Amino acid sequence: MPDQDSAAPFHLLTFTTLYPHAAAPTQGVFVENRLRHLLASGAARATVLAPVPWFPFRAERFGRWAVAARAPAEETRHGIRVLHPRFAAIPRLGMTLAPFLLYHAMRPVLRRLRAAGARFDAIDAHYLYPDGVAAVRLARAAGLPVVLTARGSDVTQIAATYPGPRRRILEAARAADAMITVSAALRDDLIGLGAPAEKIVVLRNGVDTSLFRPPSDTAARAAARAALGLSGPTLLSVGHLIPRKGHEKIVAALTDLPDHTLLIAGGGEGEAALRAEIARRGLSARVRLLGIVPHAELPALYAAADALVLASSREGWANVLLEAMACGTPVIASNIPGNPEVVRAPEAGLILDANTPEGIVRAVRRLAAAPPDRAATRAYAERFGWEETTAGQVALFRRVIAARRAAG
């Protein structure tokens, strides 16, 4: 039987620049979802410190900088207090200076929170650079244990490509009390770069099977398709409109899939180029850009599609795969680290033999020739709920908190 102290809820300071806010409700929703499920367990409480870059103008023409400017200073999301203090972001020097600018801007914020009576047992930091590097410094200054979560491109792009950030990430990894990766592939990558293996725990993202669920019956699915004006085979791609998501490969594949419609949900700086490519190929009547779709409206899109196609060149753990499967929709996913950990059975869908337009065409035809039962796809996704990940977090945070207290 645990003593009263060990069973009491612990209080986390969740620290990340990747967190939703009123002006960007889908940004970093994967961090919010994991935290919400942890708090729902009753084992933890949290305050979120989610800094945003300072920028003086809110006009749309300034893009993501203006979105940051429109973030509220403080808000409550799903009952969680979320603070959005500003920090200086210098575009040309951002890769080098970002962790230090972030740390120096957030240290007085943390000091004020504690002076006002807030008590934290640990820092829960997401994304290794610059967030994780800054979080380790904050934790050291505050005398708190810190757990870092690697999310994907912080390892596969930043740490793998840039020597300076890689060195600081590895310093942070060695100084952290523990680390979480969302896939075994990311764990292997971190260890290969020199991170201490004994500190890394794999806790995958889960899927909310109460939100992401199939239509009640075939009539409901037909109604969902009719609401979108769909009548033939339909593919869906979900993600930011940026090159690494590979939307343009799926668009190109459509030239050899003349009876298919493609829906693309997402926004980003690549929208104009993607629209131009669609028009150049004469596919404007069969490819529809839906813009940013609120998280709660995605189930209807997944349910209406015959398959979700994910043609990314990099992912940590692609939440869209499980979301689609939970709605009964099989997936076609690129053969990159992480994806084969999600798509492991025929009822889940297929892994591409080549992440090219031709490979996508082959996979779509193969899936259409022998589509899995949608109920079986849903049943497969139900194995990936949040319970296991939440239990893993609770055990990990209790361990590092107890170890720090034992050390004085």
Helix (H) / strand (E) element for 190: namely: helix 184-193
pLDDT tens-place string over residues 165-205:
999 999 999 999 999 999 999 999 999 999 999 999 999 99
pLDDT tens-place string over residues 326-342:
999 999 999 998 899 99
pTM of the model: 0.86
Average pLDDT over residues 294-309: 94
**Is the pLDDT at 158 greater than 60, yes or no?**
yes
Mean of pLDDT over the chain? 94
Q: How do 349-351 and 146-150 pair as beta strands? A: unpaired
pLDDT tens-place string over residues 43-58:
999 999 999 999 999 9
**Dihedral sign computed on CA atoms, order 281, 252, 183, 155:** negative
Q: For tokens 């740490």, what's the residue? A: 159
What domains are defined for the chain? 4-206+386-406 (3.40.50.2000), 218-383 (3.40.50.2000)
**Is the pLDDT at 11 greater than 60, yes or no?**
yes
Query: Using DSSP, how many helices (H) and how many strands (E) does the chain show?
Result: 18, 16
Instruction: Give 274-281's long-range contacts (Cβ < 8 A, gap of 24+).
Output: 274/241, 274/247, 274/248, 277/248, 277/251, 277/252, 278/251, 281/251, 281/252, 281/254, 281/255
CB atoms within 10 A of CB 234: 20
**Is the pLDDT at 94 greater than 90, yes or no?**
no
Residue 205 identity (one-letter amino acid)? N
- Which residue did the predictor score with more confidence, 6 or 125? 125
Q: How do 80-83 and 74-77 pair as beta strands? A: antiparallel
Closest C-alpha to 100, from 30, 165, 39, 180: 165
**Is the pLDDT at 295 greater than 80, yes or no?**
yes
Closest C-alpha to 83, from 65, 58, 110: 110
**For residue 62, what pLDDT is reported?**
87
CA–CA dist 130, 141 (Å, integer)? 17
CA–CA dist 234, 396 (Å, integer)? 42
**Is the pLDDT at 356 greater than 70, yes or no?**
yes
Question: Both tokens of residue 161?
Answer: 């490509």
Q: Please, which pLDDT band fits residue 405 given cuts at 50, 70 and 90? A: very high
CB atoms within 10 A of CB 167: 12
- Kindly list the strands in the beta sheet with 331-333, ordered across the sheet, starting from the edge strand earlier in the chain: 287-291, 261-265, 234-238, 307-310, 331-333, 349-351
CA–CA dist 326, 385 (Å, integer)? 10
CB atoms within 10 A of CB 316: 25
**For residue 363, what pLDDT is reported?**
98
CA–CA dist 158, 136 (Å, integer)? 18
Residue 2 identity (one-letter amino acid)? P
**For residue 216, what pLDDT is reported?**
84
What length is written for the chain?
Answer: 408
Beta strands of 113-248 (E only): which ranges?
Answer: 122-126, 146-150, 178-181, 200-202, 234-238
Q: How far is CA 206 from CA 7, 189, 191, 199, 303, in A?
A: 24, 21, 23, 22, 19
- Which residue did the predictor score with more confidence, 358 or 244? 358
Residues 6+ apart with CB under 8 A from 310: 237, 238, 239, 246, 318, 320, 321, 331, 332, 333, 334, 339
Q: Please, which pLDDT band fits residue 89 given cuts at 50, 70 and 90? A: confident
Q: Please, which pLDDT band fits residue 6 given cuts at 50, 70 and 90? A: low
Cβ–Cβ < 8 Å for 278, 253: no
Q: How do 287-291 and 307-310 pair as beta strands? A: unpaired
Percentage of residues in the chain having pLDDT higher than 70? 98
Cβ–Cβ < 8 Å for 285, 213: no
Question: Both tokens of residue 90?
Answer: 């210098």
**For residue 17, what pLDDT is reported?**
96
